[in-house]
């Protein structure tokens, strides 16, 4: 009984003593040492190795690979190794590259020896060029040494620590290189193969798929450390964030691929929303990393990945239930990927052992997913091909059916076409006759306008010539009387030679003097001078009118000539003088201008049509207190253009009428007073001369027609404002 109590007391006292790990007896080969580690968490990250050596509160680890979770703390690992191998150099491998910093300490006497790695060091600075962190543990044969390992990480800290001798380190590295080389080769082949198919088919599913497997492959290669070893050895900063960036891009393009490949938007709208949320979560994670919150971005990757896996699985199951064949392939591929992911997580949680099989479950799941998805895309192409062939057969059947219907309809249509053709011919003949009638009517109207203009011209000429002719004819009778009186006196002088007697001669002379006195020879001389002067003035006036008529008519109007515009204005005013009369005040401001290359007769016709309208407006102004005034001006704004202003202070033109004044047959005059072609002809004439015509009018104030003509026809016209 006493012995039982003694043993119980000894066991209890033993449990109260500090726990120390067993010494690792290394006899060569490869060995995982997780269960031999003592771990201490340093939240302050300030303790030195001397302070750590003195601590007695290390905790013994009971797992093959300690999983410390995600923390900013420093973790100190303590272990003691006894070398019973045949080599004095033992290698310590930390088979987890995503470590922020790792520092190895050991004591030789009172001196501290340290070796440090951090994610700021380039790959070439490593003592051992390996994808994982490798330390050389110098332990004499049959000797032992205690080591301290300080580790910090930005992401989840997992501590799979191995001891190797040189031979087994090389074999382990070679095996890992082979597995990851095969993985990278498959990824590259699948990228190139599907990229080639994309360029052949231009199907966006292949493009998204290529980008997805490219970035998922880069993410996996970065996780295993091979990307840093072979791709960007001199860029540690990029390597530290690469796993986040590639995971983000892989997640985003995976969502785009799933949406396009499974036609989620059409088949499951709620699924489209779920995948859009997945894209948003990955995008937000990338932004968080760029902003410098590295640790938080790793948490974002875990959250985005977990959500994306469940959301994608939900969508795939829902669409598979709709009997959509590609969804079945996708569900199988995604399930294998998730299986590999779950096995990896279980290994990291120490539910499964840490061995070669559990190490590469993620790569195996990825490869199987990639291969099955490629089969799914190929199957989709086959489905599309069959659908296209069915569509072509359907189109062929529809084409033949349409051909049959068309043949049947042709018989019916031919009769209808003949009937309709006959009706169209009848209608065409009626339209042709109507068109001829309209042309005849238009010709008659134009001829009427010409006759009206000719009548206006004839009346003006007749009135202007009539005045001087009447003046001449009225002077003929008094001129004849005066000439007869002068001839009578001359006859009396002619008979003086017949009288020889002086008395008779003197008597006859006295008679001639009495005759001259009776006839008032002085008055006759004055009257003759007045009559001849008046007749001369009448003749000159007639010559001027004829000259003005010649200028106005311009018999050479079929050819372009250099024309004096001021002469044309003067001749037009001469013809219209009888219409202007004494009631309308005429103001002429004709400046010195260059001759203009134009059709003179047509330009004069323009002046007459505009001035006739102005005179009509002045004579029909209802305001009795307004003094009618017509202003004719010309000037030259530059060396290439000439401007003419024809302005009146009549009734003006309303805005609604102003927009129509140049339309053919539009007129505001009473029936019989105008045809409406005058201003239309004016517009065409100015247009032929490459000029411009601007109408400035205000109701009650009057109207101004501003004509701008190029001096030479090749010059474009400008619009000038007359001050």
For the chain, domains (ranges, CATH) are 19-164 (2.60.40.2380), 174-322 (no CATH), 426-547 (no CATH), 558-710 (3.30.565.10)
User: What is residue 522's predicted lDDT score, i.e. its pLDDT?
Assistant: 74
Cα–Cα nearest to 324, from 371, 267, 275, 374: 267
Pairing mode of beta strands 692-698, 161-164: unpaired
C-alpha distances out from residue 134 to 151, 231, 711, Å: 14, 20, 96
By C-alpha distance, which of 52, 61, 148 is closest to 104?
A: 148
| Contact status, residue 156 vs residue 298, Cβ threshold 8 Å | yes
- Three-class SS of residue 164? strand
Helix or strand or coil: residue 494?
Answer: helix
Ranges of beta strands (E only) in 51-177 are 59-60, 66-70, 74-83, 89-94, 101-108, 111-118, 133-138, 144-152, 156-159, 161-164
Query: Helix, strand, or coil here: 701?
Result: coil
Q: Which residue matches tokens 């004719």? A: 632
Report how far residue 306's alpha carbon sits from residue 546's, in angstroms, rounded to the nearest whole number: 108
- For 255, residues 6+ apart whose C-beta sits below 8 A from its C-beta are 275, 276, 278, 279, 282, 308, 312
Residues 6+ apart with CB under 8 A from 325: 379, 383
Per-residue pLDDT, 10: 35
Which DSSP letter does residue 122 get? -
How many whole angstroms separate alpha carbon 228 and alpha carbon 133? 12
What are the tokens at 412? 């019916």
Cβ proximity of 555 and 602 under 8 Å:
no
Instruction: Give the pLDDT score at 710.
Output: 93
DSSP 62-87: -SSSEEEEE-SSEEEEEEEEEE-SS-
Q: Kindly state the tokens that stand for 369.
A: 């997913």
In this prediction, residue 555 carries a pLDDT of 42
Helix H or strand E encompassing 220: helix 204-223
Q: How far is residue 642's CA from residue 674's CA, in Å, rounded to a whole number? A: 30
Alpha-carbon distance of 208 to 191, in angstroms, equals 11
The pLDDT of residue 16: 36
Task: Give 78's strand partners.
Answer: 38, 148
pLDDT for residue 672? 47
10 Å Cβ neighbour count for 681?
19
User: What are 10's two structure tokens?
Assistant: 């000894």
Indicate the angle between helix axes 361-494 and 600-619, nearest 10 degrees.
80
φ, ψ for residue 115, nearest 5 deg: -135, 130
**What is d(CA 614, CA 603) in angstroms, rounded to the nearest whole number?**
17
What pLDDT is recorded for position 496? 66
Cβ-count burial of 10 within 10 angstroms (0-12 exposed, 13-18 middle, 19+ buried)?
Answer: exposed
Q: How far apart are CA 51 and CA 119, in angstroms?
A: 25
User: Average pLDDT per run of 10 along the chain, which is 723 residues long?
Assistant: 37 39 84 90 90 89 82 90 87 87 90 88 85 90 92 84 90 87 86 83 82 88 86 86 89 88 86 91 92 85 85 86 79 75 65 66 75 73 69 79 80 78 81 73 57 56 61 67 75 67 73 74 73 66 60 55 87 79 85 88 84 82 81 92 91 77 63 60 85 87 90 60 42
204-223 vs 361-494: helix crossing angle, rounded to 10: 130
What residues pair up with 144 in beta bridges, in sequence order? Answer: 82
Whether residue 246 contacts residue 219, with contact meaning beta carbons closer than 8 Å, is answered with yes
């Amino acid at each position: 009984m006493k012995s039982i109590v003694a043993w119980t007391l000894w066991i209890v006292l033993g449990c109260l003593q500090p726990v120390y790990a067993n010494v690792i007896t290394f006899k060569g080969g490869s060995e995982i040492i997780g269960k031999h580690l003592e771990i201490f968490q340093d939240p302050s990250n300030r303790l030195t190795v001397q302070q750590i050596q003195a601590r007695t509160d290390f905790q013994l680890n009971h797992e093959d690979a300690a999983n410390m979770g995600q923390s900013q703390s420093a973790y100190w690992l303590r272990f003691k190794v006894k070398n019973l191998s045949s080599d004095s150099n033992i290698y310590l491998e930390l088979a987890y590259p995503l470590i922020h910093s790792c520092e190895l300490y050991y004591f030789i006497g009172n001196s501290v020896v340290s070796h440090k790695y951090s994610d700021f060091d380039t790959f070439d600075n490593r003592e051992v060029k390996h994808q994982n962190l490798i330390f050389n543990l110098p332990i004499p044969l049959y000797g032992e040494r205690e080591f301290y390992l300080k580790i910090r990480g930005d992401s989840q800290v997992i501590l799979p620590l191995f001891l190797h001798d040189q031979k087994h380190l090389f074999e382990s590295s070679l095996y890992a290189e082979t597995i990851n080389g095969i993985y990278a080769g498959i990824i590259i082949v699948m990228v190139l193969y599907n990229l080639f198919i994309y360029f052949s088919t231009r199907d966006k599913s292949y493009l998204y798929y290529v980008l997805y497997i490219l970035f998922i492959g880069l993410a996996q290669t970065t996780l295993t450390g091979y990307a840093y070893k072979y791709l960007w050895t001199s860029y540690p900063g990029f390597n530290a964030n690469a796993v986040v960036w590639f995971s983000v891009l892989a997640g985003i393009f995976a969502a785009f691929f799933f949406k396009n490949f499974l036609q989620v938007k059409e088949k499951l709208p709620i699924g489209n929303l779920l995948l859009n949320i997945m894209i948003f979560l990955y995008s937000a994670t990338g932004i968080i990393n760029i902003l410098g919150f590295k640790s938080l971005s790793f948490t974002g990757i875990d959250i985005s990945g977990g959500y994306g896996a469940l959301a994608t699985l939900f969508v795939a199951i829902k669409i598979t239930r709709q009997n959509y064949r590609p969804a079945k392939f996708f569900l199988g591929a995604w399930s294998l990927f998730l299986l590999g992911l779950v096995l990896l997580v279980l290994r990291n949680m120490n539910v499964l052992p840490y061995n070669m099989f559990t190490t590469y479950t993620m790569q195996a799941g990825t490869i199987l997913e990639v291969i099955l998805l490629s089969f799914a895309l190929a199957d989709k192409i086959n489905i599309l091909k069959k659908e296209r062939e069915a569509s072509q057969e359907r189109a062929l059947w529809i084409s033949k059916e349409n051909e049959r219907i068309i043949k049947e309809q042709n018989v019916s249509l031919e009769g209808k076409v003949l009937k309709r053709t006959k009706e169209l011919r009848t209608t065409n003949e009626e339209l042709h006759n109507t068109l001829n009638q309209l042309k005849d009517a238009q010709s008659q109207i134009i001829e009427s306008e010409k006759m009206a203009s000719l009548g206006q011209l004839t009346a003006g000429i007749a009135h202007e010539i009539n005045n001087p002719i009447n003046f001449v004819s009225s002077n003929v009778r008094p001129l004849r009387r005066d000439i007869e009186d002068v001839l009578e006196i001359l006859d009396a002088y002619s008979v003086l030679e017949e009288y020889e007697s002086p008395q008779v001669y003197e008597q006859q002379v006295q008679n001639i003097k009495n005759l001259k006195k009776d006839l008032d020879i002085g008055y006759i001389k004055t009257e003759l001078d007045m009559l001849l002067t008046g007749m001369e003035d009448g003749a000159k006036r007639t010559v001027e009118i004829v000259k003005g008529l010649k200028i106005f008519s311009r018999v050479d109007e079929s050819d372009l000539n250099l024309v004096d515009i001021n002469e044309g204005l003067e001749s037009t005013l001469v013809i219209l003088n009888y219409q202007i009369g004494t009631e309308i005040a005429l103001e002429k401001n004709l400046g010195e201008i260059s001759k203009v290359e134009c059709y003179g007769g047509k330009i004069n016709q323009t002046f007459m049509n505009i001035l006739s309208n102005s005179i009509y407006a002045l004579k029909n102004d209802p305001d009795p207190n307004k003094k009618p005034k017509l202003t004719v001006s010309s000037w030259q704004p530059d060396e290439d253009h000439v401007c003419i202003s024809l302005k009146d202070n009549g009734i003006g033109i309303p805005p609604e009428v102003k927009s129509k004044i140049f339309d053919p047959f539009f007129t505001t005059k009473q029936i019989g007073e105008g045809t409406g072609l005058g201003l239309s002809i004016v517009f065409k004439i100015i247009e032929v001369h490459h000029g411009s015509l601007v109408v400035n009018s205000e109701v009650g104030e009057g109207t101004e027609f501003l004509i701008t003509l190029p001096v030479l026809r090749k010059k474009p016209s400008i619009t000038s404002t007359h001050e």
